[in-house]
Amino acid sequence: MGSLRKKPMLISHRGAHREAPENSRSGFEIALDYGVDGIETDVQLTRDGIPVLFHNATTYRVTGRRKSVSAYTRDELKTFDLVRNDAREKIPTLAEVLELFGSRTSLLIEIKSRKHDRLSGRSQALTDKVIAEIAGFSTVTREKIRVLSFDPDVLEQVNRAAPWLKCVLNTDGSGAWCVPAADLMRGRAVLDFLSALCLDKKDLSSQVVAWAHERGQAVFTYCCNNRPQVDQALSLGVDGIMSDRPGWLAGLFKCIDRTADIDY
């Protein structure tokens, strides 16, 4: 590995989801036991307005039905199980996860905002709910939280209502409203309030990293699951690395010659 100024933040993508259900409390506990610095997760809104942790556009994997989270109330979702290997547990609410993990690690909370969410107003409603949930916690906890989204409108809403929250733009997404990193660099879009950009590893470049750093913005990347991917991210000077293999990632950095490569 090349020379680095500092160790990047090690982030578990949706918890340790290869060993436990994704976005689950047990998956988060496993990731923390490995020694990661943060956990990325996804939040959506139930029909009765409760933010819950869930990634996919539909609940097919847990319900067998191609319906969105917003088609169910919180109580209805409680009847379904998240399953991975031999583990079974319920879909957690954002409030539960903030209470259990907010003081123990950095949480990177992605607000899901798909086309139907934007058109129906659920994106705006979810964003308000997420802000309200986070606002109820201590300043120490709030400072460790980052709000992510591919939707710049969501992040602008967060910044207007809660400028104390760290906003991270997921760039180069597939939605028509998404903002490519190239547009930011060329001034076609201006989001000066961002604390960081988050890019797929295939979209990383020395140019975008330098551009962000010149503006005081960090750069995160996802998902680095093997050594060459980590080496590339490190060579480009990223500030945070997400992985689907948190145990492997944490173990890799424990094996690095810290005095030669990384300044802790």
pLDDT tens per residue across all 264 residues of the chain = 444 457 999 999 999 999 999 999 999 999 999 999 999 999 999 999 999 999 999 999 888 889 999 999 999 999 999 988 887 899 999 999 999 999 999 999 999 999 999 999 999 999 999 999 999 999 999 999 999 999 999 999 999 999 999 999 999 878 889 999 999 999 999 999 999 999 999 999 999 999 999 999 999 999 999 999 999 999 999 999 999 999 999 999 998 745 455 554
Residues 134 and 165: beta-carbon distance below 8 Å: yes
Q: Which residues contact 170 (CB under 8 A, 6 or more apart)?
A: 110, 148, 149, 150, 178, 198, 199
| pLDDT tens per residue across span 24-45 | 999 999 999 999 999 999 999 9
The domain defined by 9-257 folds into: TIM Barrel (3.20.20)
| Helix (H), strand (E) counts: the chain | 13, 11
Residues 18 and 91: beta-carbon distance below 8 Å: no
pTM of the predicted protein model = 0.94
